[in-house]
Structure 1
Amino acid sequence: MSEKVWLSTYPKEVSPSYEYPKQNLAQFLIETAQKYPKKKALYFLGTTMTYEELLIRTYQFANALKNIGIRKGDRVSIMLPNSPQAIISYYGSLMIGAIVVQTNPTYVERELEYQLNDSDAKIIIALDLLYKRVQRVIPQTNVKYQIFTSIKDYLPFPKNILYPLKVKKDGLSMDVTYSDTIYSFARLLKTTSSTPSMIELDPMKDLALLQYTGGTTGVSKGVMLTHYNLVANTLQTRAWCYKSEEAKEKYLAALPFFHVFGMTVLMNLSMKMAGELVLLPKFDIDMALKMIDKQKPTIFPGAPTMYISLINHPEVKKYDLSSVNICISGAAPLPGDVQETFEQLTGGRLTEGYGLTETSPVTHANTIWEKRKLGSIGIPFPDTEAKVVDPETGEDVDNGQIGELVIRGPQVMLGYWKKTEETSQAIRNGWFYTGDMATMDHDGFFYIIDRKKDLIIAGGFNIYPRDIEEVLFDHPNIIDAVVIGVPDEYRGETVKAFLVLKEGTMLGEEEIDSFCRERLASYKVPRIYEFRDSLPKTLIGKTLRRVLIEEEKENQRSNGNV
């Protein structure tokens, strides 16, 4: 595998290696604003902002943080949806050398308290709608300062007048009690200098980000990503999208920036490319279709659930989707029929990639305009090494054999925040052990089989849930499926499938069983089926398998089986 056989598949426009500048990540915004000051940087629900305006507001915010007392190395929690404030807060924090902690706005109090304490955040920036939730948590943390902002602050007339009325109608509150430690975002910008602010730092060592893992497989850990990690991955992604043109692309920002995928392939990449971000505060399929139809975005990175909801929308053909040229799907496996249908609808290219929070995140992708393989995560990015090893011995396995995927490259994290032991387990001899079981074919294309922790052992057989899920997705009446192992007295574990059917369709267990037996070895065929209206997912569409496993354990306890 050291031969890097995948390089033979590289497009001639993509080099196997690049030089990555050792700079503050916020330098992308500064350079673009200097080069294209009047170019639109973002569109937000009717409001536009140029790069010049965005940079001025970002400098103001950076200076406001300094005036409050935030210094290099302090952790800044940003608990915002996709909005102008989220971008300003992010780059303003980086400019003064603070470490951003992206915080999911949907976190419940327990999750928020854990993250603020684990990161030892000094300040939090949040929506006014979240004020009460934040106040209930703050006394249990070391957070000293709070900044609150409102969606209405960047809405055009008359939306800014109507928004508070809608909030009140929905039973929510925008009320914030300000004090000498609780600040108004809008007031801070109005009263603070826009003098350029950029601190000296070591991009190779200084952290830009403490990005918490999704926690889909256990306790969430703070991933330490440097400025260099994120600069490198932004430029690797830019190289992969070699047909995209500087100052000409529009990015549909449906993925949240508080997730590392959206942060890199949307926010950071758009800043580098002088693109225009079309911001969606949350993914709503009706709003997304309208935005594509009216704003004509050219690049739409997303999760499979986004593309699935789009192609299954009953009125999708009423919208003009032809502007979309490039889509990179990540966060979960992309079903082949979804890829084909989406490309037929838009005329653009939808390709599957792969990454992890620990790798900034992208490490692999299918080429966009060249050779692709359905079901594959593609080939490694420039300067990225990957191989498949025996999970026990660490020795390389032969092509086609299953082992653990390990990765080495400039985008790989420094380690886990305050978790030395977990870091030493994850990074060995310079290689990051992903925990994903994979294979590599003779062309250097990689295939994810499953998470190592999700392996089901039934009757001595190793069963990978994804094998079964791919078969279930092939059934025309099944739109979502997830498979887990459940305790079984005879087999040790057995296979249970949770299914979501297409609206208005009927499907019996016998029919599904027969369908699976034609396509799977008998030991892989699910023994138990449960039909649901929906499956638990993260905001970007990754199925929360652990939630179903915990539910199953609780059911077992309730029934006295554990």
Structure 2
Amino acid sequence: MTNPAVILEETAARHRDRTAVVAGTQALTYGTLDLRSSQFSSLLAERGVHPGERVALSCTNGPFFPIAYYGILKAGAVVVPLNVLLKGGEVAYHLQDSGAVALVAAVGDDSLPLHLTAREAFEAVGGCRELVLMDAAEQNPSGFLSELDDQDGSRRAAERDDNDTAVILYTSGTTGRPKGAELTHANLRGNAEVSAPLFGADENRPDTHLCVLPLYHSFGQTVVMNSAVRFGGTIVTLPRFEPAAALNAFVEHGITAFAGVPTMYWGLLRALEGRPDHPGDGPPAPSLRLALAGGSAMPVELAKEFHARFGLHVREGYGLSETSPVASFAPPDTLPRPGSIGLPIPGVRMALIADDWTELDGPDAIGEIAISGPNVMKGYHGRPEATAAVIRDGWFRSGDLARRDEDGYYYIVDRAKDMIIRGGFNVYPREIEEALMTHPAISLAAVVGVPDPRHGEEVKAYVILHPGASFAPEDLVAWCRERMAAYKYPRLVEVREEFPTTSTGKILKRELR
């Protein structure tokens, strides 16, 4: 059976007493997680949710997320994970666009009142029939967990076809209203299975994962949660990424696997700068065997610094919500190639294409990444024209520009939409950012194009400095002029204390423009 909920049932049958999820002082075994998710599927069935119907899920990292996620799948329904930072009107849009018949939300607090947001959205959308609020036992002893106790815990995962939709993941909507990528049962289970050849996942030597990536996002959902559950690992969750808390968790829980976006690695390194308990001659995470990066391009200098401090190479990969998400990764048992996103994962093909879909080749070719394989989404929910624009003959065009070396390794050049055209010349921000990161005073850099009446666009650099460092912006412009072609170097420089980021930690360049 393809239903991804079966991976939980299979693991629970073999390792019932093994710890599955840790959140603060709470810990769930695989037996309990399987039981609770079965009870949750029974609750949904009791409330009239049928196989194939959509169920939206608004929940922070912690035990309730996998209970609800696998419970929805066990019911044969489709999970629609929601960004927990969405406001009421935005949640209502997702409910309407997905056609969700039920909304499941954790009870939040004053800083993140998920239950209030959920109720506002639920009452605004007539087609959403059921609202399920999940509260902790200590908050309400007669609440959600007690309601689960009354449900059938023997319910098994519903039979679903390979091509049936399992999850609808909404894109960030940077170029318009968010679109829902329909991922099938085969998409999700296949992407979890590749953790064995890619990462050495082995249920006889289970990993302990630190989960700081939000589970509503494809990266955390597949690479951390589904992968860990498939191979019997333990998921240690933090409600949000806080560098100091993450460093403590590495040691306290014996973390062996960590997946994060580049700004998380940057945050870990900055947090080490003032910690006498982590001297420079010893690794801050002695049990860590696997450091994975994705979500955006990893700066080469940042990867070098992480290796120097943690004694471990960061293995970079690439993918999108539309590809379940993993499409390529640095091969195991080889030294990572600086700046490379690796090779296509088993069963997946990648190519470089021009605007007209023709394939590009040659050592100097820069083209848009196209992906074909069992990880490619079914399409955008309810948007056949948008689907046709990005999928042709089984190939998905990513919107990311890359080059390929003689061994087939791919290197991201930039997002196509981030490319700057200055005076008719193409300028790739990532190239400039990599150069800026070699400056001894610069800790992090982001480069964007801003309107210019003479050149169309001008290159502007935003930088964060190392503690105690300083320079005049004009000095950095002069430094860049000596090292970059005249059409490339930034004429504008602005120093920032921090950059705007998404909830997953990616730099929001649209807010810097």
TM-score of the pair, normalised by structure 1: 0.86
* 2:325 is aligned with 1:325: no
Cα deviation code 1:472-507 (max 9, x no counterpart): 222232223222222211111111222222333212
Per mean C-alpha deviation after superposition, the further-off stretch among 436-445 and 363-372 is 363-372
Match of 2:128 in 1: 143
Instruction: Find the partner of 1:115 among 94, 97, 103.
Output: 94
Instruction: Find the partner of 1:50 among 12, 29, 32.
Output: 29
Instruction: Find the partner of 1:306 among 249, 261, 264.
Output: 264
Partners of 2:462 and 2:274 in 1: CA distance: 28
- How does 1:47-126 map onto structure 2 within 5 Å? 47-126=26-105
Cα deviation code 1:126-157 (max 9, x no counterpart): 1222222222222321322112223x44xxxx
- How does 1:129-528 map onto structure 2 within 5 Å? 129=108, 130-141=114-125, 142-150=127-135, 152-153=136-137, 184-203=143-162, 205-242=163-200, 244=202, 246-313=204-271, 314-316=273-275, 318-319=277-278, 320-392=284-356, 394-528=358-492
> Residue type matched to 1:143 in 2?
C
> Structure 1 unaligned runs (5+)?
1-21, 154-159, 165-173, 175-182, 550-562
Partners of 1:137 and 1:499 in 2: CA distance: 39
Alpha-carbon offset, residue 197 of structure 1: 2.6
Q: Matched residue pairs, number? A: 501
Per mean C-alpha deviation after superposition, the further-off stretch among 206-215 and 308-317 is 308-317
For the residue of structure 2 that corresponds to 1:474, the secondary structure is coil
Cα deviation code 1:290-324 (max 9, x no counterpart): 11111011001111111111112134562541111
Partners of 2:473 and 2:415 in 1: CA distance: 27
Partners of 1:471 and 1:77 in 2: CA distance: 43
Alpha-carbon offset, residue 395 of structure 1: 3.1
Q: Residue 119 of structure 2 contacts residue 131 of structure 2 at CA under 8 Å; is this kept in 1?
A: no
Cα deviation code 1:31-79 (max 9, x no counterpart): 0000111111111102221111111111111101100111111111111
Judged with a 3 Å threshold, the aligned counterparts in structure 2 of structure 1 residues 216 and 473 are, in CA distance, closer, same or farther, namely farther
Partners of 1:87 and 1:547 in 2: CA distance: 33
Partners of 1:452 and 1:29 in 2: CA distance: 39
Alpha-carbon offset, residue 217 of structure 1: 4.0
> Residue type matched to 2:266 in 1?
I
Q: Residue 201 of structure 2 contacts residue 207 of structure 2 at CA under 8 Å; is this kept in 1?
A: no
Partners of 1:283 and 1:262 in 2: CA distance: 12
Match of 1:26 in 2: 5
Partners of 1:131 and 1:370 in 2: CA distance: 47
Judged with a 3 Å threshold, the aligned counterparts in structure 2 of structure 1 residues 393 and 408 are, in CA distance, closer, same or farther, namely closer
Partners of 2:334 and 2:225 in 1: CA distance: 26
Partners of 1:412 and 1:238 in 2: CA distance: 20
Judged with a 3 Å threshold, the aligned counterparts in structure 2 of structure 1 residues 496 and 348 are, in CA distance, closer, same or farther, namely closer
Cα deviation code 1:220-262 (max 9, x no counterpart): 1100000100111111233201265535211111111111000
For the residue of structure 1 that corresponds to 2:458, the secondary structure is strand
Q: Which has the higher contact order (CA 8 A, sep 6+)?
A: 1
Partners of 1:332 and 1:108 in 2: CA distance: 25
Alpha-carbon offset, residue 392 of structure 1: 3.2
> Structure 2 unaligned runs (5+)?
109-113, 279-283
Name the structure where helix makes up a greater proportion of residues: 1
Partners of 1:195 and 1:465 in 2: CA distance: 54
Match of 1:534 in 2: 498
For the residue of structure 2 that corresponds to 1:328, the secondary structure is strand
Match of 1:157 in 2: none
Give the root-mean-square deviation of aligned CA atoms: 1.9
Q: Residue 21 of structure 2 contacts residue 62 of structure 2 at CA under 8 Å; is this kept in 1?
A: no
Match of 1:11 in 2: none
Partners of 1:403 and 1:317 in 2: CA distance: 47
For the residue of structure 2 that corresponds to 1:495, the secondary structure is strand
> Residue type matched to 2:253 in 1?
Q
Match of 1:3 in 2: none
Partners of 2:359 and 2:206 in 1: CA distance: 46
TM-score of the pair, normalised by structure 2: 0.93
Q: Residue 303 of structure 1 contacts residue 332 of structure 1 at CA under 8 Å; is this kept in 2?
A: yes
